[in-house]
Structure 1
Amino acid sequence: MKIDGDEVGLGGGEGDGVEVVDTKSVSRVKLDLNIPEWLLVEVLVRLPVKQVFSLKLVCKQWRSVISDPFFIRMYVLRASMSRELPPWTYISYTLHVDGYYIRHSEHPSYELLLDVYSRDFKCPSFYVLPCPHGHYGYTSRYTVLGVSNGLVLYGPLVCCLNYGICNPITRQWMALPPHSCLFNTVRGGLVTKVDNGVLTSYRAVRIEIILKGSSRIRFEVFFSEIGEWKSFTVVTEQVIRINSRRMATILDGILHWVTGKHGIIAYDPYEKPDSLRFIALPGDIDRRCNNAKHHGIPSLCDAHQGRLRYFEMSGFCKRPYGFSSIGIWILNDYSSGEWCLQHRVRAADILYDDVLSGQYLFLQPMSFHPFDSDILYLGYENIIVSYNINSRKLKAHGGELGIELTIGGEQPCWLLAFLFVIPPWPLYLPPLPHPFIPPPPPGAVEALL
């Protein structure tokens, strides 16, 4: 097979000897209709996923091969053996809509996530989500409830009756049927089951947040297999106050929230949607981090490399640094709830770069680096700060594209952000048993005129 006169080989060397075709000029590809399908698969499986998707437009044969579950399994398997780390970024909890795109900011220079990936693993970036055509409204604010395997669960920030699920890479979206429970404050999550690059099912979860706490914790779960929402209420012996400023942490399909006094609550929407499990936090943490005053802002429960990790900045707001020390614990045994202290350092013993040196730091932990267990990211004013466990250094990172990471000039974009790792193969959202088509929003016709 030749592309613009160049031979595409299957030999070794960088990129396995495959010369990448310019996907903007697919029309220049000279097709050999007699090419064996096995050879076509061997070539396509070595190309970047974005180019593979572009080559669906070449002909029906190529589209059929690329869409075949066998090819997807081959592609995912090969990607899993690659030494190249997947690209990743952050998605903010609060988004703005401008035209057909949801933006982290109203600044016009943001580019699509489809075209720009965070290849610099030392400094994460913020990008844009597609807004479904005619969905909800044309000028609005949105909220993200969960991210899983490259899919995003989101809906309007105000009067959030309808939710949608979107794949930012392929720009495919699907409206979920309206739910029935009205919660004043909502958190949630998205849990997916994937088999060799194919989405088999998912659960969209909503949890009611009572700021003063409650002994009745209400959930609403969307079951993709039947296309319906189901309601569950879990009654506890004590009043539980979930940290409202923190998103759910997902590990092995189970959602985790940190509470004010009762450690971590774990919720399994697949196996036990009508019950909760309590996991005690380490005994030597600073309990003030999760009290009603701080709402968990100086602490973080995160899933990393198959285990839960807990991070805290003890002595939050204490001068002169803004905190007194940093501590990191790992949940060694999930069944028994056994924690192990991994790292602790005083604020005075930390190295600060030129931007942070001498500053009173109001830091909020965001997440651990998805692939480097020694790196943690925190938000500070309009920048992102990384902390290296080995070097004990805090380093400031500016915003990508040279613009401030703010939400419409109001709040920092990293506030309640979600870590978004690009999967090796973008998941396709299969149609629901009873597809829901949302009605056009009021004023939509006028907005188009």
Structure 2
Amino acid sequence: MTNILPQELITEILSLLLVKPLMRFQCVSKAWFVTINDPDFIKMHLNRSIETNRERALIADANNGILPHSYYLVNFSDNKRFSEPMEICPPFNHPTTRFIKIVGHCNGLICLHICPFCCSNIEERNKYPNEIVIWNPLIRKYKKLPFKPIENPDDYELKLAFGYDQINDDYKVVRILKPLLASVSEVCHHVYSLRGNSWRKVEDKWPRKDLYLNMNLSASLNGALHWVAGRRRGLTSAIIAFDLSTEKFRVHALPIEINFLEYNTHLVVLGGCLCVWEANCQQFFDVWVMKEYGVAASNWTLLYRLPQGSQQTPSYAMPVALSNNGKEVLMHEYSGKLYWYNIKKKRSRIVEIQKSIEKCDLNIVVVGSLLLLDGELDH
């Protein structure tokens, strides 16, 4: 084939394939191996995956963060066909007393964090220090971040976030450290660059002294990380964004005031738009979408509202993905069940998967990606 077809056409054909066959086709020839591992090809393949939604995978937390740990991977291309769940293990080898959590995901990559301070044994804590890994679960490759020591580790709050710097074509991890007994203004920030494989301190200061972060996942969109932020007493007042290119903070307005202390407010990305999911006084759930990215509250539109207690709608259901036609939202119910919710008809239907994953506490959706092909195999 390489003698008959021009290289440009071969590259075009290969870019239309899914991740799994491309991994196998690396062995066809040296030329194909070089093509598939080329950074420009990897970026082309990723962009087509995002544009077409041709390959998406649901990652479900199988045992709520406790090690030894595993996840279920369920492939789906549209709102009808789901593969049988496949159990996969993250790239860690630690004792069962550790705790693992997903701190962010972007472009098919997942950022994982081993929390060493869940263990009361000081010797074990020192043996297995704070670890962060960027992992591609579809190709089973990972990159372990260099260790960044923390002074006085028992006296701080740690938050991590992960996203893509589209200006510099770099993936970054942001580490936020706040002393437990200090004010928000004393927060210290560090950023890790995958391209440079190094940490550095962020010079920009926290934007508002009266705001602190929600413990929920950040949302990565438009080259920035986003968190819900609120005052220690009162209502949520803003979204804090961190531009991964300029490494500056900015503040986005929320569509409505939200009771921050209930921790029922989440940020997600649906159809390339930033969304706020909010539980309102146990009466209904609102999903707001920022169709035009910006800082004004007027940019938000109510996508749908789910009344609680209705037989036609799931209870406490967080949106995780949008269908290819944009008419349905895949939702993860608090009980662990998955539903497709039709926005126009206001009806839901349960997702039937051959092997039950209903006990899973967390579900995220990643796209098919070849990023980290040069990383280490997880097992």
Report the TM-score range of the alignment, normalised by the length of the smaller protein.
0.7 to 0.9
Secondary structure of the residue aligned to 1:266 is strand
Structure-2 residue corresponding to 1:329: 288
Structure-2 residue corresponding to 1:310: 276
Structure-2 residue corresponding to 1:446: none
One-letter identity of the residue aligned with 2:36: I
Secondary structure of the residue aligned to 1:215 is helix
Secondary structure of the residue aligned to 1:169 is coil
Structure-2 residue corresponding to 1:187: 159
Judge conservation of contact 2:187–2:206 (CA < 8 Å) in 1.
Answer: yes
Structure-1 residue corresponding to 2:214: 243
Matches within 5 A, 1:39-78: 40-41=10-11, 44-45=14-15, 47-68=17-38, 72=42
1:145 to 92, 103, 112: 103
Judge conservation of contact 2:341–2:348 (CA < 8 Å) in 1.
Answer: yes
Bigger mean CA offset, 49-58 vs 331-340: 331-340
Structure-2 residue corresponding to 1:29: none
One-letter identity of the residue aligned with 1:173: Y
Give the drift of 1:401: 0.8
TM-score normalised by the chain length of structure 2:
0.75
Cα 1:71–1:385 change in 2 (3 A) is closer
Structure-2 residue corresponding to 1:165: 134
Judge conservation of contact 2:270–2:320 (CA < 8 Å) in 1.
Answer: no
Give the drift of 1:394: 3.9
The whole-number CA distance in structure 1 between the counterparts of 2:299 and 2:114 is 38
Cα 1:389–1:313 change in 2 (3 A) is farther
The whole-number CA distance in structure 2 between the counterparts of 1:79 and 1:194 is 17
The whole-number CA distance in structure 1 between the counterparts of 2:372 and 2:308 is 50
Rg larger in structure: 1
Judge conservation of contact 1:123–1:397 (CA < 8 Å) in 2.
Answer: no
The whole-number CA distance in structure 1 between the counterparts of 2:275 and 2:308 is 24
Q: Percent identity?
A: 21
Cα RMSD, aligned residues only:
3.8
Secondary structure of the residue aligned to 1:52 is helix
Matched, 1:177 2:146: yes
Give the drift of 1:254: 0.7
Judge conservation of contact 1:152–1:166 (CA < 8 Å) in 2.
Answer: yes
Cα 1:219–1:373 change in 2 (3 A) is farther
The whole-number CA distance in structure 1 between the counterparts of 2:338 and 2:49 is 29
Matched, 1:281 2:254: yes
One-letter identity of the residue aligned with 2:371: L
Structure-2 residue corresponding to 1:259: 229
Secondary structure of the residue aligned to 1:163 is strand
TM-score normalised by the chain length of structure 1:
0.65
Cα 1:223–1:71 change in 2 (3 A) is closer
Count of residues in Structure 1 that have an aligned counterpart in Structure 2: 349
Bigger mean CA offset, 209-218 vs 54-63: 209-218
Query: Which runs of no fewer than 5 residues in structure 2 stay unpaired?
Result: 118-128, 231-235
Cα 1:366–1:157 change in 2 (3 A) is farther
The whole-number CA distance in structure 2 between the counterparts of 1:235 and 1:184 is 16
One-letter identity of the residue aligned with 1:389: I
Secondary structure of the residue aligned to 1:85 is coil
Matched, 1:103 2:70: yes
Cα 1:62–1:389 change in 2 (3 A) is closer
The whole-number CA distance in structure 1 between the counterparts of 2:11 and 2:253 is 50
Cα 1:74–1:153 change in 2 (3 A) is closer
Cα 1:118–1:186 change in 2 (3 A) is farther
The whole-number CA distance in structure 2 between the counterparts of 1:123 and 1:271 is 41
1:228 to 193, 198, 214: 198
1:216 to 166, 169, 186: 186
One-letter identity of the residue aligned with 1:238: K
Structure-2 residue corresponding to 1:427: 371
Structure-2 residue corresponding to 1:375: 329
Cα 1:54–1:128 change in 2 (3 A) is same
Give the drift of 1:200: 4.2
Secondary structure of the residue aligned to 2:26 is helix
Cα 1:308–1:34 change in 2 (3 A) is closer
